[in-house]
Amino acid sequence: MVKRARLLLLPFLLLSLLRPLHAADGRFDLVGPRIDIRVTRGNETLPIATVPNLQPGDKIWLHPDLPPTQSVKYLLICVFLRGTTNPPPQNWFIRIETWDKKVRQEGVFVTVPAEAQQAVLFMAPETGGDFATLRSAVQGRPGVFVRASQDLAEAGFEQARIEKYLASIRRVPPSDPEALQKHSDLLARTLALKPNPDCFKRPIDTQFTCLTQTGTQTLLDDGHGQNIASALSNGPGSDLINQASTVGVAGGGLYSAYVGAIVDVIRLMGTLHTAQYQYIPAIAFPQDAAMNLRLNTPPSFHNPKSVLVIGLPSVQAAVPPPLRSANANYVACLIKPSVALPIEGAPLVFSTDFAHDIVLHLNTPPGAPAEPDIPLIPDAYQGGLVLQQTPIHHRELHDPKLLKPDPDRSAAPAAPSADAKPAPEKTPAPEPQPKPVLLTGTIQGRWGFDPFTGPTVGLQQLPGAGWHIVKSSEAVPSSLIAGRSTQLQVSSTGSACVHTITAQPNGSTTDMAIAFEHSPGPDDPNLLNLTMPLQHTETPGDLHLAIQQYGQPKADDIAARTFSEPAHIASIELHAGDRSLILNGTSLSQVDKLKLGDLSFQPTPSADSQVSPNTLRLALAADAPAPPTHTDDHLTARVELHDGRVLSIPVVVAQARPVITLLRKSLLSETPNNTISLSDANDLPLSQPVSFTLKSPAPFPRNGQIEIETLDGTLRTVLTLAPSGGLLLQDPHTVVATLDPLRSFGPSAFGPLRMRSVYPLPTTTHEHRSNEPDTAPLASITTDQPPAEPDAPMSDWLPLGTLVRLPTLLGLQCPADTALPCTLNGTNLFLVESISIDPSFTSPISVPDGYTGSSLTLPHPAASTIFLHLRDDPTPINPAIVPTVASAPPTVSPHSHSTSHAESKTPKGPASAGP
């Protein structure tokens, strides 16, 4: 909460009612008199700037530091109070005449009485009855002055924080907005205040002016300062002080919860007004022994004369500063040239001199060399306690006695006596342990006269070693992807002393600066999170990281490597008991293998990938045992890429799929005029029905289907057990299927066919069965059925064969002279890729694409057999026995009138096509 009320309303609390309320000025910018104060406790004396509290028995040395030309005689009165309801005795009022020569030269010692709780100084111009008047006012209204003492101390603490902020922010160059923002944040954290955020929204040249204006800072709650200016004791006056309100007075803004009580106190102060005196507050800004006073009202030396009210530290037990680390995971590097421990929680440590002789005590482990304490200086500008390192910091301490020669040892050894006993063997001293890289340090110091112990912080005193790249995790992968910014984690024995990190891609001479931040984890406190700017690096390859640490002349190198975008695995299809699985994703050509526990799946050459590049089938080796997988098993697959990267992909085992095997297949009938013999048993003539037998380990269901389609899925048919559906059960495990490719796919079908079994899910509707008799001897295939349901169990695709279309060869006309060419007549000759008269295709005759002629010219064969490469399957060599027609000169076919002139012309060469 904002507590500017104490700065702005204290004038009203101590001024007489003759002073208009709205005329009060909240700015304490008038220089007042100076008083030198020292406090002695036991045998130790401290200046007032380092004394946060007084104790009974303390000796206070007071010395008014007035100029020699001081014309007005000031009476200094030291008063001790003991609460709001217990007026102080008369001997607790000490009269000090500042004009006295002895006082001016030597000062005055005052001892804090045993039951005192507060101490207040009054400075008043000398008049008749001045001392008695002031004493009567305090004894008559002690609670008002108790409250004034507390609020003066609180106002001094708050004003000190603001003054510290203003003085520190002026150290920043006004033209550097980044430094202005950085140091403003550090000051705000250590001093517990909030600068005006609107200042950073202004133009750069006006941000500095805005931040350095008094009143643009919001003071945050400082419980430590409130404890030092302790609350008033219990009693009737406490009800007044516990009141709370939020009031705006004279445009001063928001005020603290004390405002309501202060307004009431102002009314009480009216009874203290006399014709001789009015009271004005003086806020103290201690500096060493000097208590520099600032006023917000010019003092008056005419009636009513001004009495300056000055608060001294309260008489109470010490309240040590509640220091804490701003970052619990922070580790300070002791070999860094400038180190600031990020400490917060006690703004008075940074805005006052109450904390002094602060050191960092190093907690070295047993057996390690002892280390001296390191002095600390509070510096809000740097955001914490700054180490004052000395050259001897890292020197090992030795006992000087061990280095002096032993005079007894330099003398000649004495002869052993007869009664001498052998000396016991000495236990060898333990070898000194090397310096640890990491250790801790505890903040220690003095709070006034009392010692205090602060937080313990992590430290690093040697450069880290053993730098390595941390293995990938889901949050921060270790793979560096060329073409995009990537996060990378590295670690060592200590990471706090890293100065810079650079990277140099392979083949480049330019170093890239790498941004990094400490990211300690529960298992590794030395993690560094690196942001690799690889968005402009398109070529994968080696990458060299150079980590430069403080205190180390040479950088540590880490070898890394950038990769291309890895394969993306969208899903893995694995069914219970399957020996193969399917990957769905992108860039699957990078996959080398997949492991599920001890099972290793290797990519299998499959025609599926030619149709769908986003799928990849992997299978177990032929001699590998069957996988012991079950439905709904949750597994983790390790997908290994060719470049060594490993992807972890979750897998849920799906239900077991149907399994079918192809036992045999055969053509049902021969075409009467078919002269071509297919040499590859896998080739299926389009014009001939085919019958094949399938075996299923499990009973084939009555609603089971056999899907047959081309690899691209554009032609598809379904065989069922329905009448004329193409399937016939021999027994529950054996199915005989009949397929008429021409009727199912049409005359333009060609290429590989594949099949699979599908077990549709049960439906509530009854399947329509035709009551018409089966008039066709072959299967009546349904080609308009929709694709199988995605959730329906399906087997793997099995190759059925390759559909080939055959030309019709009508005859071969050859002249008697074997040196002359022959003419081959037929239809659909464009289905032939090339013809040869020998099986070795020594001189093949190529058929042009889209050939529409009805004859071809070829050399005279030795027999009636010629050899063909078919377009639908050009690899096999298929013999054809063509009937020989009686010798006659080549004639033009009656249908050749529709062909082009070029195609109807009889070719002369052996590799030409005839009419």
> What tokens were used for 255?
């005020």
**243 lies in some domain:** yes
**408 lies in some domain:** no
Coarse DSSP helix, strand, coil percentages of the chain, rounded to the nearest 5 percent: 15, 35, 50
Total domain count, the chain? 6
> What tokens were used for 903?
């195609």
Ordered DSSP codes for 208-263: HHHHTSTT-EEEPP-HHHHHHSPPPPSSHHHHHHT-------TT-----TTHHHHH
**232 lies in some domain:** yes
Those residues whose C-beta lies under 8 Å from the C-beta of residue 444, and which sit 6 or more positions away, are: 358, 359, 360, 361, 373, 451, 452, 453, 454
Cβ(529)–Cβ(568) below 8 Å: no
Highest-pLDDT range among 239-253, 268-282, 789-803: 789-803
Question: Tell me, what's the pLDDT at 70?
Answer: 84
Same domain, 47 and 107: yes
Same domain, 66 and 145: yes
Helices 130-140 & 142-169 angle (0-180, nearest 10): 100
Same domain, 875 and 790: no
Residue 587: left if φ>0, alpha if ψ -120 to 50, beta else—which one?
Answer: left
Average pLDDT score over residue span 99-114: 93
Average pLDDT score over residue span 893-911: 38
Helix (H, G, I), strand (E, B) or coil at 587: coil
Average pLDDT score over residue span 123-149: 84
- CA 580, CA 569: separation in Å to the nearest integer? 16
* Per-residue pLDDT at 911 exceeds 70: no
Q: Tokens 């609603």 correspond to what residue? A: 703
Kindly report, residue by residue over 819-854, the tens digit of the pLDDT. Answer: 899 999 999 999 999 999 999 999 899 999 999 999
Average pLDDT score over residue span 319-346: 91
Q: Tokens 């680390």 correspond to what residue? A: 325
Name the residue with higher pLDDT: 248 or 482.
Answer: 482
**124 lies in some domain:** yes
* Per-residue pLDDT at 235 exceeds 60: no
Show which of 652, 678, 705 is a domain's final residue: 652
Average pLDDT, the chain: 78
Same domain, 295 and 328: no
**400 lies in some domain:** no
Same domain, 441 and 555: no
- CA 36, CA 66: separation in Å to the nearest integer? 10
Of all residues in the chain, the percent with pLDDT exceeding 70 is 74
Residue 293 carries which side chain, given as an amino acid letter?
Answer: L
* Per-residue pLDDT at 114 exceeds 90: yes
Average pLDDT score over residue span 308-325: 92
- CA 813, CA 825: separation in Å to the nearest integer? 8
Question: Tell me, what's the pLDDT at 204?
Answer: 54
> What tokens were used for 396?
């090992």
Same domain, 452 and 366: yes
Longest C-alpha distance within the chain, in Å? 163
Show which of 563, 587, 609 is a domain's final residue: 563
**211 lies in some domain:** no
Highest-pLDDT range among 107-116, 142-151, 366-375, 603-612: 107-116
Ordered DSSP codes for 708-755: EEETTSSSEEEEESSTTSBEEEEETTEEEEEE-HHHHH-TT--EEEEE
Same domain, 301 and 258: yes
Those residues whose C-beta lies under 8 Å from the C-beta of residue 862, and which sit 6 or more positions away, are: 837
Same domain, 336 and 454: yes
- CA 512, CA 498: separation in Å to the nearest integer? 16
Question: Tell me, what's the pLDDT at 408?
Answer: 45
Highest-pLDDT range among 22-36, 67-81, 502-516: 67-81
Domain CATH number, residue 374: 2.60.40
Lowest mean pLDDT among 367-381, 473-487, 804-818, 833-847: 473-487
Question: Tell me, what's the pLDDT at 422?
Answer: 57
Kindly report, residue by residue over 49-70, the tens digit of the pLDDT. Answer: 999 999 999 999 999 998 888 8
Same domain, 497 and 451: no
Question: Tell me, what's the pLDDT at 53?
Answer: 94
Kindly report, residue by residue over 715-773, the tens digit of the pLDDT. Answer: 999 999 998 899 999 999 999 999 999 999 999 999 999 999 998 877 644 444 444 44
Kindly report, residue by residue over 580-608, the tens digit of the pLDDT. Answer: 899 999 888 889 999 998 899 999 876 45
Nearest to 109 by CA among 96, 98, 126: 96
Q: In which element (H, E) is residue 409 found?
A: helix 407-410
- CA 307, CA 313: separation in Å to the nearest integer? 19
**198 lies in some domain:** no
Name the residue with higher pLDDT: 297 or 495.
Answer: 495
Q: Give the Cα-Cα-Cα angle 392, 396, 398 (nearest 5 degrees).
A: 115
Identify the domain containing residue 633 by its residue range: 568-652
Show which of 652, 675, 691 is a domain's final residue: 652
**62 burial via Cβ count (<10 Å: 0-12, 13-18, 19+):** buried
Highest-pLDDT range among 14-23, 225-234, 688-697: 688-697
Average pLDDT score over residue span 483-489: 78
* Per-residue pLDDT at 476 exceeds 80: no
Same domain, 786 and 688: yes
Q: In which element (H, E) is residue 652 found?
A: strand 646-652
Kindly report, residue by residue over 846-880, the tens digit of the pLDDT. Answer: 999 999 999 999 998 888 899 999 999 999 999 99
Highest-pLDDT range among 14-18, 428-432, 538-542: 538-542
Domain CATH number, residue 544: 2.60.40.10
Name the residue with higher pLDDT: 682 or 796.
Answer: 682
* Per-residue pLDDT at 572 exceeds 60: yes
**175 lies in some domain:** no
Beta bridge partners of 720: 705, 726
Question: Tell me, what's the pLDDT at 243?
Answer: 31
pTM, rounded to two decimals = 0.59
What letter would DSSP give residue 848? P
Same domain, 546 and 574: no
Same domain, 273 and 131: yes
* Per-residue pLDDT at 455 exceeds 70: yes
Kindly report, residue by residue over 604-660, the tens digit of the pLDDT. Answer: 876 454 446 788 989 999 888 888 888 899 999 999 988 888 889 999 998 888 889
CA distances from 29 to 9, 36, 281, 364 (A): 15, 20, 12, 50
Question: Tell me, what's the pLDDT at 366?
Answer: 81
Lowest mean pLDDT among 302-306, 339-343, 808-812: 302-306
Question: Tell me, what's the pLDDT at 473?
Answer: 56
Task: Place 353 in a pLDDT band, splitting at 50, 70 and 90.
Answer: very high
Average pLDDT score over residue span 73-85: 91
Rounded to the nearest angstrom, the gap between the alpha carbon of residue 198 and the centroid of all alpha carbons in its chain is 30
